[in-house]
Amino acid sequence: MASAAVRERFLAQMATADAPPIRLTDGTVQQVLAAADVVLVTSGTATLETLLSKRPMVVAYRFAAFTHFVLSRLRLVKVPYFSQPNLLAGRALVPELLQQQVTGEALGRAVLGQLEDPGHALQLGAEFRRIHEQLRRDGAALAADSIVRLLGRGAAPGAAERP
């Protein structure tokens, strides 16, 4: 669970639901993702973490009603997708549900759709690996190369500006 408050809210909802038992975990994201056949995830960095774990996912997000009204009326959102995997791929890789689309029935259908197509899961895994490779840039080496280039110029950055 993301936080104690989320845990309490979830437990309260589960107490009123007719559902099978669900085991909750805290601080074990990597283990949970590794064990998952499909992940139901909210939009944000969690989708990137799920992508890096190469797991099929369904992404759902709901803005506050006023925020959604302002964003849609002023046309401030100009991207075709809102999830990291779809934005990075430039196409719809994973199902996205937004605002009123986020219902139990719709989420269930989308998750089952991911589970029922193992060929799609393999293709998705390959696409996620490709995106992961694109994201890897070896930051430490790039930083070291930049420092060496700066030192090779014989002056610290900004030194030419000093009298």
Asked if the structure places residue 6 within a domain, the reply is: no
CA separation, residue 27 to residues 22, 30, 33, 51, 58 (Å): 16, 9, 12, 18, 21
Asked if the structure places residue 98 within a domain, the reply is: yes
Asked if the structure places residue 92 within a domain, the reply is: yes
Asked if the structure places residue 27 within a domain, the reply is: no
What is the domain count for the chain? 1
Asked if the structure places residue 21 within a domain, the reply is: no
Asked if the structure places residue 90 within a domain, the reply is: yes
Task: Give the domain range for residue 134.
Answer: 36-153
Asked if the structure places residue 67 within a domain, the reply is: yes
Asked if the structure places residue 79 within a domain, the reply is: yes
pLDDT tier at 162 (50, 70, 90 boundaries)?
very low
Report phi then psi at 6, rounded to 5: -65, -40
Which residue shows structure tokens 């995997």?
85
Predicted TM-score (pTM) of the model is 0.73
- pLDDT tens across 119-153, in order? 988 999 999 999 998 888 776 777 788 788 888 77
Residue (of 131, 125, 1) closest to 57 by Cα position: 125
- pLDDT tens across 59-110, in order? 998 877 777 677 777 776 667 778 889 999 999 999 999 888 899 899 999 9
